[in-house]
Homo-oligomer: A and B are copies of this chain.
Amino acid sequence: MQDSRAETHTSMAAHEVLAVVLQIRQERLSVLLWRRARPPFEKCWVLPGGRLGTAEGLGESIRRQLAQKVDVRDLAHLEQLETRGDPGRHPHGRTLATAYLGLVPADIDPVIPGDTAWHPASDLPPMGFDHAAIVHSGRRRLRAKLSYTNIGFALAPPEFTMSELSRYYRAALGHDVAATNLRRVLLRRGQIEETGESVPSGRSGGRPAALFRFRVRRLEITDAFAVLRPPQV
């Protein structure tokens, strides 16, 4: 630590903030992308975002940009994902990018500009920069958190039936989730509760489905210390 200049003369670098905005759309986990109109990576798809304003925080900045640029104001959850700073990641010179993960509940359909579109997260179009890798990070993060947090609240509408919820989980996790067991797991953990209401059955009959809601619509870890728990004493 001899070099005391390090404390004040930090280097300047371009900095942008990006978002992996995910939503379950038509039973698929989808990500909001923007199509570039000019080089580099002309006509490739990239993550929404842009430069960091001079007096705003990182989370604040991405919220502002999503609202202003792609009209997404209904994020139920937003968390920081990772920062990429590889010297070669941007052809026009050193640019750091801090990526966020944002989740939009399935009942919302934001109005988005013509040059943006939702794409299946499992079948991405040609993407610019390192943004495809960032989307994969976001997907992995979501999948992991579905198993030990209540993050499902940010995918589901305020009220839902168990079979709807199991379809959201299936879309996000990529494998079947039995509604019957999901119900018990989430009830036992206290994540969800019955609203008391129910939904009339459709044309084809069937028992009316009870409506549920998440008890807390803010990220909580509900299954900490899956192993190596502290002693019960």
Which residues of A are interface residues toward B (Cβ below 8 A)? Answer: 1-4, 6-16, 34, 36-38, 48-58, 65, 69-70, 80, 82-87, 92, 94-96, 98, 113, 115-116, 144, 146-148, 169, 173, 175-177, 182, 185, 223-228, 230-231
Question: B146 touching A52 by the CB < 8 A rule?
Answer: no
Q: Which of B2, B15, B34, B87 contacts A57 (CB 8 A)?
A: B87
Question: B226 touching A52 by the CB < 8 A rule?
Answer: no
With A15-B15, A223-B227: A56-B87 Cβ-Cβ less than 8 Å = yes
Question: A176 touching B227 by the CB < 8 A rule?
Answer: no
Question: B58 touching A11 by the CB < 8 A rule?
Answer: no
Closest chain B residue to A226, Cβ basis: B226
Q: Which of B12, B69, B82, B144 contacts A14 (CB 8 A)?
A: B12
Residues of chain B with a CB closer than 8 A to A182's CB: 228
Give bound CA distance, A52 to B80, whole Å: 21
With A2-B113, A12-B15, A14-B12: A147-B228 Cβ-Cβ less than 8 Å = yes
Residues of chain B with a CB closer than 8 A to A16's CB: 6, 10
Residues of chain B with a CB closer than 8 A to A2's CB: 69, 113
Give bound CA distance, A82 to B86, whole Å: 16
Give bound CA distance, A4 to B57, whole Å: 22
